[in-house]
Copies of this chain bind each other. A is one copy, B any other.
Amino acid sequence: MTLDEKFNALEVENAPGQEARKEPEDLNAIMRGEKLEGIPVDFSHGDVDAFPPTPGSAEAWRVGFESGAAQAYTEYRGAAEIRKGLADRLAAFTGRPISADNELIITPGTQGALFLAIGATVATGTKVAVVEPDYFANRKLVKFFGGEIVPIPLRYLGTSSENGPDLNRIETVFKSGTKVFVFSTPNNPTGLVYSADAITKIAALAASHDVTLIVDQLYSRMLYSGEVYTHLRSCEIQPKNLITIMGPSKTESLSGFRLGVAFGTPQLIDRMERLQAIVSLRAAGYNQAALNTWFSEPLGWLESRVHQHEAIRNKMLEIFRAANLLTATPQAGSYLFLQLPPLCVSLKTFVRLLRYQAGVTVTPGPEFAPAFTDSIRLNFSQDFASAVAAAQRIVKMIEIYRI
């Protein structure tokens, strides 16, 4: 693979936050009717103005800054004192003890944790099982490190008993040389939470076939009423190599701090730290101090935040289902994956029109796996009224452009 090929595979044009760089192009020849008025909404990522950072996070940063050298130059895996507190709180959350010394690394965002985890486990030719659809960076990272993608289908539009990853396929590929399995639960982009049964089976299969598991649990705190979350770390049978990834960028809106954590198998955490040392040394020192607020938020804060998101979710589902559009009910997180009916323009053009004509930015389905040319992802962590109005504009746009 030449460097050109390698970097073409890392195309970022449709990635969240990058839309600003696109050249304005004339869509007037394609556009039907007038522009739809309304406050522009960027569903490609959450709005931290609508849902501001955790109370006390800026103050925690300042304490870090004031503490000076010790907080500026932490170990590459993060400040020991901060890891200590985190290890206890994350162990309580995920159901298994974590050694702050050997089993935890603080990273520059959850993205940083994923990069290090995949860099630490994937080399040229490594077979890596990747769920379709799943977070777009998973595929890109595997390709970047020379791995071979082994797709695992995820069913998400059926009944709750039908939904989930294809466990037979997982068993088959685990038996035939797959070395690493990376997946997110709650799933990005669908909001599907892997069932206790699926998680238990994946853990057992990984243990018996010696497959390394990388489990991205970024959204596991934003769990809606009546849903149950199963931490893979809490299963009785544990695989030899397991990395769990989390971070405070989403539910807690600390994305501007670029903080994440990975915890699990000491040998892998050690490799990840070695890689971190040449990638960016450490998560920004003063920022690490904001992790002291994580899983230590004021009483009721988390419940209130989840409740507010559930209200938006419910309203979005109501709007889209009233228009007979297909979407799974997000069980957790703030992503909604909407299936579109056949349109008279390509998905790419429709996504551009949504932005140009309706002031709505979304992420196109093929970012999550090539086949999803009929779907778009919305991050509904937005101002309620703006999100509702924007969802209604999406429905109107679909009416205008459907065949």
Contacts and interface: CB of A to CB of B under 8 A. Distances in A.
A3 B123 CA distance: 7
Interface string A271-299: 10111011111111111000000000000
A326 interface: no
A76 interface: yes
Contacts of A10: 274-275, 277-278
A285 B273 contact: no
Contact of A18 (B16, B76, B120, B279): B76
A365 interface: no
A121 interface: yes
Contacts of A76: 12, 15, 17-18
Contacts of A109: 280-281
A238 interface: no
Interface string A10-28: 1110011110110000000
Given A48-B68, A71-B256, A108-B108, A284 B281 contact: no
Interface in A56-93: 58, 61-62, 64-65, 68-69, 71-76, 80
Given A12-B273, A279-B112, A256 B45 contact: no
B123 A11 contact: no
Number of copies: 2
A7 interface: yes
Given A20-B80, A108-B258, A140 B72 contact: no
Contact of A284 (B45, B62, B284): B284
B278 A141 contact: yes
Given A48-B72, A49-B68, A273-B12, A283 B258 contact: yes
A144 interface: yes
A278 B286 CA distance: 23
A12 B274 contact: yes
Contacts of A12: 76, 273-274, 277
B258 A75 contact: no
Q: Which size class do A's interface residues fall under?
A: 35 or more
Nearest to A8: B274
B257 A284 contact: yes
Nearest to A16: B73
A212 B294 CA distance: 44
Residue with the greatest number of chain B CB neighbours at <10 A, chosen from A17, A108, A278: A278
Contact of A65 (B20, B80, B112, B256): B256
A244 B67 CA distance: 32
A3 to B, nearest CB: 5
Nearest to A44: B73
A76 to B, nearest CB: 6
A167 interface: no
A161 interface: no
Residue with the greatest number of chain B CB neighbours at <10 A, chosen from A121, A141, A277: A277
A258 B282 contact: yes
A144 B111 contact: no
Q: Which 7 residue pairs spanning A and B have beta carbons closest together?
A: A72-B256, A258-B284, A10-B274, A256-B285, A108-B280, A112-B280, A49-B69
Given A15-B76, A17-B281, A144-B278, 9 more contacts: A1-B123, A3-B271, A10-B278, A12-B273, A15-B277, A16-B73, A49-B68, A52-B68, A140-B278
